[in-house]
Amino acid sequence: MKRLFLFMFVGFMLTSCNAPKRVIYREASGRNIEPAQGAVITPLVADLEIISQQSVRNTITFDVVVKTNMLGEIENFKRMALLQTAHKYNADTMVAALMNVDTNQNGNLEITVTGYPARYINFRPMTEKDQWITKFDGGSHNNKKKEQKVSSGLGGKLLGGRKK
């Protein structure tokens, strides 16, 4: 009797170890009709005020070791460094920003941003007098769709940096 249970147990263990994992996936889709909605928005114009007449410099070190397979993600880190520099100087943007990308002695990514911090002021609706602006912005006020470059690879994970 013990042998029978032993053989059954061993047989059960062997078959259960080799059993493929089964994934159950269900998806449902439906059709609905939404009423068309749209809005025409008066374009907004603002002035840009340079906060500092001297260029500022800010170095940010990211806790990321640079590897060859992440070189395409450097643009994301440059944008994060630009944003953190603007925040440091209570600015909305950086004018004439230059970025120096380097690695430190530990192999971590280090980005130095140099530029002029600026903020948007005097928001107002666009008037006939401001129509000249549309020649420079590509007419984005007409609700034309523009292609956006979307970077992938980090999966939406934001990696914070520390200031040097």
Reported pTM: 0.57
E strand or H helix that includes residue 45: strand 44-50
C-alpha 142/C-alpha 63 separation (Å) is 42
8: number of CA atoms within 13 Å, CB side?
Answer: 5
Instruction: Given CATH 3.30.110, say whether it is the number of domain 43-127.
Output: yes
Residue 145 is predicted with a pLDDT of 45
User: What is the pairing mode between strands 44-50 and 108-125?
Assistant: antiparallel
Contact call for residues 22 and 70 (beta carbons, < 8 A): no
Question: Of 91, 145, 132, nearest to 113 (Cα)?
Answer: 91
* pLDDT score recorded for residue 131: 83
CA quadruple 79, 83, 84, 86: dihedral sign: positive
* Res 15: pLDDT: 64
Whole-number pLDDT of residue 143? 44
Each domain of the chain, given as residue ranges in start order, spans 43-127
How confident is the chain (164 residues) per 10-residue block, as mean pLDDT?
69 61 53 70 89 95 83 86 94 93 88 94 90 71 44 40 46
| Phi-psi label, residue 123: left if phi above 0, alpha if psi -120 to 50, beta otherwise | beta
pLDDT score at 133:
82
